[in-house]
Structures are given as C-alpha cells and as structure tokens.
C-alpha cells in the first residue's frame, strides 16, 4: 500500500503551496508513482501544478444522480471507469479533482461509493497527496479518513493556529485513523517568531518545519505562474525540501 498524505489548514494558509511542492519533491527525488487529489472546492491545485483537467468527481456524482443506471449495470464498475476517465495523466503524476462538496442527503450513497473507489485507487500509487478542503469540513465529511499522515499548515495568524488546534481535536474526537499529524508554519518572518511560540505550543502538534514569507510565491501568484515552477533558489522551495526530507526521514 502507498502512503496517503493530507494537507490541511485554514483557507489562505498555504495548503496548496505545500501540496504542490510536496508533489514536486516526490517527482524530483524519484519516489515512485504519485497521485495528486484536489479535494478543495476552490480547485486551485491544478493551476498551481500547471495542468488542466476536464471533469471532476462531483460531475460524475451529478451525472449518476440525474441519470440512474439501467438494470444490470454494476454501479461500482461504472464508477471505476468514470473515475479513470476523470483522471488527468501527466508525464510525472496523475491528478483528480473532487469538485463541488457533497450536497443534500440524496448524495450520501453515491459519495460513499465514490470514496471507496478513490480509496482503492490510492493503493496503486506510492504516494497520494490530498490538498484538503480548507477548515474542518473535510474531517466531518471524512474525506481524509484514510490519510496516513496529516500536515496541518498555518500562517502566523491567531485564526490559523485556532484552526490547527481544532483540526487536531477533531481528529481525536472523530477517531480518524491518522498515523502522524504535524504542524507546518508558513509565511512566517523572523520578527514574529517569538510572539508565536505560545500559539505553537498551544496546538500540541509537533512542528515539522517552517517556510518563511517568500516574495517569489507572491510574485508567481500575482502573475498566475504555476508554483510548480518556483526556482530552486526560492525560500519556499529550499525550506519545503528540508521539511519533506524530515518527513520521509531522509538525510540531506
């Protein structure tokens, strides 16, 4: 079985940046087959990775809800084929967009089966990276229930640390089976570090690493350049690589 890593945190904290650079790290260091899943309804991961997609898992759900299968058609086999069709294949990794979040109760059975199909897909990859929905909804919906590792990204704001702490408590309260959960501090500046020490301690999470505020990231975002193309001398690229080496217990 492969390793499933969910990247979560407050909206705007840098989840997509971390997800993108983690995918890049795995590719550049030849860690095997990689599946990237955009589970955030805002669906920014494709742009950050520099790729395009045609269909989301939400589209498949809507199609199945509006057009029930004729008798005799095996629903799971149908979903398998549709998920395969919606998977974007690139030279270095595969990509799936979850799309709109689940809607009314009538979707529950479909969503459950879609999750089963996607869960079974992850077994075919060495690493699956999930850019999770911002905040706590993905936990209550159990979108990330089968993650081996959860990376909680926070910016220096009080709201960011509050969300990080709430995520930790919900993982515990909902008994979600996550093997390891870490905190990544993003967009920090040296003059704020001392004032953030108490907030970091309050989360009770092990700090895997820190990514300093990077003007290159802001420049790329403002120009719509994929973060996948950040130069190797950028702060975010260098510091995230240190974090991922630590995550995978590798020596530099």
pLDDT tens for each residue of 37-84:
998 877 799 999 999 998 888 888 788 777 777 677 777 788 888 888
Going from the C-alpha of 121 to that of each of 65, 158, 223, the distances in angstroms are: 22, 37, 34
What is the per-residue pLDDT for 140? Answer: 46
Which residues of 19-156 form beta strands (DSSP E)? 34-38, 88-89, 94-97, 127-131, 149-154
144, part of any domain: yes
Looking at the structure of the chain, the number of domains it has is 1
51, part of any domain: yes
Asked if pLDDT for residue 20 goes beyond 90, the answer is: yes
137, part of any domain: yes
Our CA dihedral for 67, 57, 175, 31, rounded to 10 degrees, sits at 150
Distance CA 200, CA 28 (A): 31
Span of 60-74, 110-124, 147-161 with lowest mean pLDDT:
110-124
Distance CA 80, CA 121 (A): 9
252, part of any domain: no
Query: Domain range spanning residue 11?
Result: 7-247
Distance CA 154, CA 252 (A): 25
221, part of any domain: yes
In 30-107, which residue ranges form alpha helices assigned H by DSSP?
A: 45-49, 57-66, 75-86
């Amino acid at each position: 079985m492969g390793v499933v890593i969910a990247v979560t945190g407050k909206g705007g904290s840098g989840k997509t940046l971390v997800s993108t650079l983690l995918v890049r790290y795995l590719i550049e260091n030849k860690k095997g087959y990689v599946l990237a899943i955009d589970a955030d309804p805002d669906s920014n991961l494709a742009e950050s990775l520099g790729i395009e997609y045609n269909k989301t898992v939400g589209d498949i759900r809507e199609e199945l809800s509006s057009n029930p299968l004729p008798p005799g058609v095996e629903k799971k086999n149908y979903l398998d084929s549709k998920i395969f069709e919606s998977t974007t294949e690139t030279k270095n990794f595969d990509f799936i967009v979850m799309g709109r979040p689940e809607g009314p109760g009538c979707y529950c059975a479909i969503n459950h089966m879609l999750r089963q199909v996607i869960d079974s897909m992850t077994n075919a990859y060495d690493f699956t990276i999930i850019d999770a929905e911002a905040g706590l909804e993905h936990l209550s919906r159990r979108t990330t229930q089968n993650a081996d590792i959860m990376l909680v990204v926070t910016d220096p704001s009080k709201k960011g640390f509050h969300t990080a702490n709430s995520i930790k408590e919900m993982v515990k309260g909902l008994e979600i089976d996550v093997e390891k959960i870490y905190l990544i501090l993003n967009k920090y500046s040296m003059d704020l570090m001392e004032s953030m020490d108490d907030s970091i301690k309050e989360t009770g999470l092990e700090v895997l690493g820190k990514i300093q505020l990077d003007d290159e990231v802001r420049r790329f975002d403002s120009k719509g350049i994929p973060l996948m193309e950040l130069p190797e001398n950028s702060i975010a690229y260098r510091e995230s690589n240190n974090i991922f080496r630590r995550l995978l217990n590798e020596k530099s």
